Structure 1
Amino acid sequence: MLDRTDDISASAENWLTQFESVLASPGDGALKALFHPDSYWRDVLALSWNLQTLNGADAILKELQALGRKAAPRHFRIDPDRAAPRRVTRAGTETIEAIFRFETNQGRGSGILRLIPDADDGNRLKAWTLLTALDELKGFEEPLGSARPRGQSYSRDFRGPNWLDLRKQAAAYADREPAVLVVGGGQAGLSIAARCRQLQIDTLVVDRESRIGDNWRKRYHALTLHNQVQVNHLPYMPFPPNWPVYIPKDKLANWFEAYVEAMELNYWTATTFESGVYDEAAARWSVVLRGADGSQRTMHPRHVVMATGVSGIPNWPDIATLQNFAGSVLHSSQYTDGEEWRDKKAIVIGTGNSGHDIAQDLHSSGAKVTLVQRSPTLITNIEPSAQLAYAAYNEGTLEDNDLIATSMPLALAKRSHVMLTEQSKKFDQELLDGLARVGFKLDFGDGGTGWQFKYLTRGGGYYFNVGCSDLVVRGEIGLRQFSDIEAFVGEGVRMKSGEALAADLIILATGYKPQEHLVRRLFGEEVTARVGPIWGFGEGQELRNMYTRTGQPGLWLIAGSLAQCRINSKYLALQIKAIEEGLLPRSSPLHRSL
C-alpha cells in the first residue's frame, strides 16, 4: 500500500479520472477492472433517483452502464473543501478514503471512494466502496451563504406588511394550500420541513401537541438523550458549543421551539391529522385536520410526509389476567414522574431503555421497584461503549461525518457493529457478569450486530446503562422473569413458585407498534398494502420505505434519531423538489416492478 499523503491523493485522483473516462465510453472490461470483486456501490439519488446499494463488480457494472448513459456523471474531482484523502480503517479493513464531488445532467453531488488492493490482480488499487449522493438540483440550489435571500430592502414600502405580518400570513394558509403537509413536529418533522423550506417548497407541519417540543417535553422527568450532543444537530442550526454532552429533554424541546421560529417554519400546534384520501387524477391528497376546538379543515397537499417517528402507537400487549390487578396500569408513554409513587410498590414490565429509566426514576423517588424481563436484552454502558458507534463525530466536520455515515453499505455497517459489540462487551465485562449472576438474560443482537441494528430492525430491545443495571446487580431493584409469573391478582403478581409480589403500580414498557398500524388507521388498508412493510431491512439493503418514494404516490415516511433525520431529510426533500419541478415521476420504478 502507498504511504505518502501525496501518493494517496494521486491514487484516488487517478481512479476518479479513469472512472469518468470509462463511464463516458463504457467497456465491460475497463469498468469492471476498477472495482474490487468484493465491492459495494451505494447510490443516493445521484444516478438512480433511488436509495439503493449493489454489491459485487458484476452487479455494479450492469447498473452503472444502464444509469451512466442517462445521468452522464462527470467532473469527478477530489473535493478541496472536505477532508483530504487519507488512510483509515473501516469495518476492520485498511483502506484509502477520499471525498469527491461530481455533477450529472440534473444535479451536483458528493461521494466517497474507498480503495483497497486486489491480491488477484497484482495488488492493484480498486474501489472497495463507492458512494454517489445528490447534493443539489441545477437551477434549484438552496439560497445559503452569499446566495441568502435579501428579505425586505431599505427601499421597502413602510406602509406595507413587515416581516411579522408576512410570517403570520404565511402560517395561516387562509388563501392557499401547502404543497407538503408534514404530520408530526419532532426531529423528523422539523428536519424535513426545514429542508423543504430551503428548497422553496410551501410546507406546513401539524402536530397534535399543544406546544412545539411537547413530544419531548412531556416524556418522563429524568429523560436525557443517550447519545452525545455532537451527533444530534438539526439541519442548518447546530447546537451552541456550550451545550451539555447529553441534552436534557426539556432543553431539546425548547430548542425545537426556537428552531421553528428561526427557520420560519409554518407549524400548527394542537392539530390532529384524522384521515387522508389520494386523488390519482388530480395527484393530490384530500386530508382532514381537526383543531383543539373540534373544528375541521380539509386541505389538498400534493405530498404528505409521515414524521410521527418509530415510536408512534403505544403497544399494549394482551397479557392474560392483567385485568385482575386492582392498582394503576400505565404504558411507559404515559409515565411522567416517580414522586407520586414514593413509598409505593411498582412493577415495570420491559427491560429496554424506557423500562430501565423508569425503574431507576421510581427507585430514586423512594418506590420499591421490580423489573420484569420478557425477553433477552442488550445492555451496554452509556460510556464508553454506547458511544463507540459515534467515534467519528468526535473529529472532523459534521458534513464529512454525515457523508461517511451515508457511505457505509449495510453489509459493512453490520461488520463494523459486530466489532464494536465485541469491544463493548470487553469494556462492560464486569457489569455483564454481574447481570448474568442475578439471572438477567443478555442478548447482543442478531449475529452479534449490537444495539444499533436492534434499533434499525425493531426500534428497541436494548438499554444504555446509566445506573439502573448496577442497581439490579446490587439487588436494590428487583428482577423477575415474565415466564415465571403465574397470574396477575388484585394485589399484584403471583409467581409460579408461590411467591406473592405486591404492587400499587404496573408500568408496561412494552414499546410501540410498527408504523404500518398508523398508516392503516389514517389511510386505510389499500394504501397500507401499497406501501408495504416500513422500517427494518427485509430482503433489501436499505431501510424499507424510509426517506424515499413509496408504493403510494405522494406519501413519504421519515423517522429515526436526530442524526438520521438530519442526514436523510436532505434526500427526501430533494426528491419532493424534483417531483414538483417535473424532473422525477411520482412513483418509484422499484415499486412498480414489485
Structure 2
Amino acid sequence: MQEQANGTSPRQSSCLVNGPIIVGAGPSGLAVAATLRQHSVPFTILERSNGIADLWTNRTYGRLRLHLPKVFCELPHVRFPPDFPIYPSKHDFLRYLHSYAAHFSIAPLFGRAVTQARFDEAAALWRVTAVADGGEVTEYVSKWLVVASGENAEVVVPKVKGRERFAGEVLHSSEYKSGERFKGKRVLVVGCGNSGMEMCLDLCEHGAIPFMSVRSGVHVLPREMLWSSTFGIAMKLLRWLPVKLVDRLLLLAAKMALGDTEKYGLKRPKLGPLEIKDVTGKSPVLDVGAWSLIKSGNIKVVAEVESLGCNGARFVDGSEMAFDAVIFATGYRSNVPSWLQDAGGFFTEDGKPRARSPASSNWRGPNGLYCIGFSGKGLLGAGNDALRAAADIAGSWLQEQEQAAAGISPV
C-alpha cells in the first residue's frame, strides 16, 4: 500500500455488508437498488463520483435529449411524469433520476473509487476495496457483487499521429457542453455516431463551421416514421418478423424519408441497423436535424483522419484542411478489467459480459456475481436485467435469513 504524503499509511478498515455490494450509482445501479428495496433486501452502493448519474450530470452536452421515447427509457417501478415531453431532455432525465433515488431512499456512498474486487474462494465472499476521496481505504465484504459501472465508464480517445503538434483545442465529447464558444471557428468532429452528429448540429446552430470525419459505415434513420418513433415501430415488427426482414423494411423507409446517404459520404454497413446493433453493440443514428444540414453542405463530411498537424488535419484520402479545434466523439468503454479480478472469465478483456447462450442469462455470473447495464439494449435492457438480478439475489438472501433464524449455518 502506498504511503500518504506525510509518510503515514492511509487508514484501512473492513466492512461486512448485509446484502449485495453495488458498484456504480448510474441508472443501472439505481434500478437494481430500487428493485432490491422492493424485495426488502439491504444493499450498499459504491460510487466514485460525488453524485448519482455522473455521466449524465458531468459528461454530456447541454442540448442532449433521450434518443428514444420516454416509454422505452423508464426504470423499473416508476414512470416518467406525464408532463415530460416524449423525448425528455438531459435535465428532465436527471430530475427523474434524483426523484427515483429519493423515492426508494437510495443513498449511495459517494467518493468511493473501487480499485479491486476479488472472490475469496475459502470464505465464499466478495472482497471489494474502495478508496475514499480523503484517502481512506475500506474493504467491503459480501456474498454478492453487482457490477453496475456500465459500458460508458471511461472515455475512448484514439491515438492520432501528430496530435501533440496541433496548435488548436483538442477535447473529447465528454468535455463538450455547447457550440457557443466555437462561433466562427472551423471544428473537426471525429466520429459519426449519435453524439458526433448532434454536436455537429449544435455547432452549426451556434455559428461554427463543423466537419465530420467518418471512418466506417453508419446507418442513419429518421427518429420518427409515420408519426411514430422508429424504435417503437421496429420493436413491434420484431414481434412478428425476423431481424433481417425488419432491417430491410427500416432501410427502405429510411431511403424514402432521407434519400441516399451514401451520396453525401455516409456509407451504410453491410449488416442492417438492428443486426449490427446485436452483433457489435453499435447503435444506428436517429436523426434529430443534422441530416438536412449535411445535405445542404452546412455540415461537411470528410474522410478518416490520418494525422494532425500544427494547423489542421491530413486525411486518408490525401486531402488536408485547417481547423481551429478537434472534438473526438469516439465514445466510451467499460473499466471493469481494471478492478475486477474475474477468475471465472465472465467478462471479456474489453469489460463486457462474455457471450453466452441464452443471451438473456448474461446478467448473472458465477459466485454471486451480477452485471447490470451491459446488455447493449440501453435503459430498457438495464431495467430488465435489474429486475432479474434483484429477484435472484432476494431469493438467496431470504434463504440465508431463514437459515440464520433457524440457527442453521449457511453452506
Provide the TM-score with structure 1 as the length reference.
Answer: 0.59
Amino acid at match of 1:558: I
Amino acid at match of 1:462: P
In the alignment, what sits opposite 1:203?
43
Displacement of 1:379: 0.6
Displacement of 1:572: 1.0
1:179 and 2:19 equivalent?
yes
- Give the direction of change, closer, same or farther, for the CA distance of 1:392–1:325 in structure 2 (3 Å limit): closer
Displacement of 1:192: 0.6
Q: Distance in 2 between matches of 1:235 and 1:354?
A: 26
Match of 1:188 among 20, 24, 28: 28
Displacement of 1:384: 2.0
- Give the direction of change, closer, same or farther, for the CA distance of 1:497–1:215 in structure 2 (3 Å limit): closer
1:387 and 2:209 equivalent?
no
Amino acid at match of 2:362: M
- Give the direction of change, closer, same or farther, for the CA distance of 1:497–1:582 in structure 2 (3 Å limit): closer
In the alignment, what sits opposite 2:368?
554
Amino acid at match of 1:469: W
In the alignment, what sits opposite 1:572?
389
Displacement of 1:264: 1.4
Q: Distance in 1 between matches of 2:313 and 2:326?
A: 10
Q: Distance in 2 between matches of 1:355 and 1:558?
A: 26
Q: Distance in 1 between matches of 2:90 and 2:243?
A: 27
Q: Distance in 2 between matches of 1:556 and 1:536?
A: 10
CA contact (8 A) 1:271 1:289 kept: yes
Q: Deviations over 1:36-62 (max 9, x none)?
A: xxxxxxxxxxxxxxxxxxxxxxxxxxx
- Give the direction of change, closer, same or farther, for the CA distance of 1:332–1:458 in structure 2 (3 Å limit): farther
The 5 Å alignment of 1:115-154 reads none
CA contact (8 A) 1:491 1:504 kept: yes
Amino acid at match of 2:390: A
- Give the direction of change, closer, same or farther, for the CA distance of 1:176–1:461 in structure 2 (3 Å limit): closer
In the alignment, what sits opposite 1:506?
326
Higher relative contact order, chain-length normalized (CA < 8 Å, sep 6+): 2
Match of 2:293 among 460, 471, 478: 471
1:367 and 2:184 equivalent?
no
Displacement of 1:227: 0.8
CA contact (8 A) 2:160 2:308 kept: no
Displacement of 1:211: 2.3
Displacement of 1:255: 1.5
CA contact (8 A) 2:204 2:299 kept: yes
Displacement of 1:266: 3.0
Displacement of 1:479: 0.8
- Give the direction of change, closer, same or farther, for the CA distance of 1:441–1:175 in structure 2 (3 Å limit): closer
Percentage identity across paired residues of the two chains: 24
Amino acid at match of 2:396: I
Q: Secondary structure at the match of 1:428?
A: helix
Amino acid at match of 1:467: G
CA contact (8 A) 2:313 2:322 kept: yes
Q: Distance in 2 between matches of 1:310 and 1:496?
A: 30
Q: Distance in 2 between matches of 1:286 and 1:262?
A: 30
In the alignment, what sits opposite 1:14?
none
CA contact (8 A) 1:221 1:336 kept: yes
Amino acid at match of 2:300: G
In the alignment, what sits opposite 1:140?
none
1:436 and 2:262 equivalent?
yes
1:260 and 2:76 equivalent?
no
Match of 2:64 among 218, 223, 227: 223
- Give the direction of change, closer, same or farther, for the CA distance of 1:497–1:232 in structure 2 (3 Å limit): closer
Instruction: State which drifts further: 352-361 or 430-439.
Output: 430-439
CA contact (8 A) 1:204 1:265 kept: no
- Give the direction of change, closer, same or farther, for the CA distance of 1:511–1:456 in structure 2 (3 Å limit): farther
The 5 Å alignment of 1:25-424 reads 177-218=17-58, 219-384=60-225, 387-391=229-233, 415-424=241-250
Task: Provide structure 1 residue ranges, at least 5 long, that are not aligned to the other structure.
Answer: 1-173, 394-404, 584-594
Instruction: State which drifts further: 335-344 or 491-500.
Output: 491-500
Q: Distance in 2 between matches of 1:331 and 1:271?
A: 25
- Give the direction of change, closer, same or farther, for the CA distance of 1:354–1:567 in structure 2 (3 Å limit): same
Amino acid at match of 2:299: I
- Give the direction of change, closer, same or farther, for the CA distance of 1:497–1:547 in structure 2 (3 Å limit): closer
Q: Distance in 2 between matches of 1:249 and 1:414?
A: 34
Q: Distance in 2 between matches of 1:494 and 1:471?
A: 24
Displacement of 1:422: 2.5
- Give the direction of change, closer, same or farther, for the CA distance of 1:457–1:414 in structure 2 (3 Å limit): farther
- Give the direction of change, closer, same or farther, for the CA distance of 1:547–1:487 in structure 2 (3 Å limit): closer
Displacement of 1:537: 7.9
Q: Deviations over 1:243-273 (max 9, x none)?
A: 1100111111121111111111231223222
In the alignment, what sits opposite 2:3?
none
Q: Deviations over 1:344-367 (max 9, x none)?
A: 211111111111111111222221
Q: Distance in 2 between matches of 1:522 and 1:537?
A: 17
In the alignment, what sits opposite 1:151?
none
- Give the direction of change, closer, same or farther, for the CA distance of 1:376–1:286 in structure 2 (3 Å limit): same
Q: Deviations over 1:408-465 (max 9, x none)?
A: 9xxx77954333332332332255434222222122x63x3x2x44334333252110
Displacement of 1:328: 2.1
Instruction: State which drifts further: 488-497 or 180-189.
Output: 488-497
CA contact (8 A) 2:209 2:299 kept: yes
- Give the direction of change, closer, same or farther, for the CA distance of 1:307–1:414 in structure 2 (3 Å limit): farther
Q: Whose radius of gyration is greater, 1 or 2?
A: 1
The 5 Å alignment of 1:515-594 reads 515=334, 518-524=335-341, 527=343, 529=345, 531-532=347-348, 535=352, 538=355, 540-542=357-359, 546-548=362-364, 550=365, 552-559=366-373, 560-582=377-399
CA contact (8 A) 1:460 1:511 kept: no
Q: Secondary structure at the match of 2:45?
A: strand
- Structure 1 or 2: more helix by fraction: 1
CA contact (8 A) 1:327 1:506 kept: yes
Q: Distance in 1 between matches of 2:184 and 2:225?
A: 34
Match of 1:459 among 278, 281, 299: 281
Provide the TM-score with structure 2 as the length reference.
Answer: 0.83
Q: Secondary structure at the match of 1:419?
A: helix
Q: Secondary structure at the match of 1:299?
A: strand
Amino acid at match of 1:473: K
- Give the direction of change, closer, same or farther, for the CA distance of 1:495–1:275 in structure 2 (3 Å limit): closer
Instruction: State which drifts further: 526-535 or 236-245.
Output: 526-535
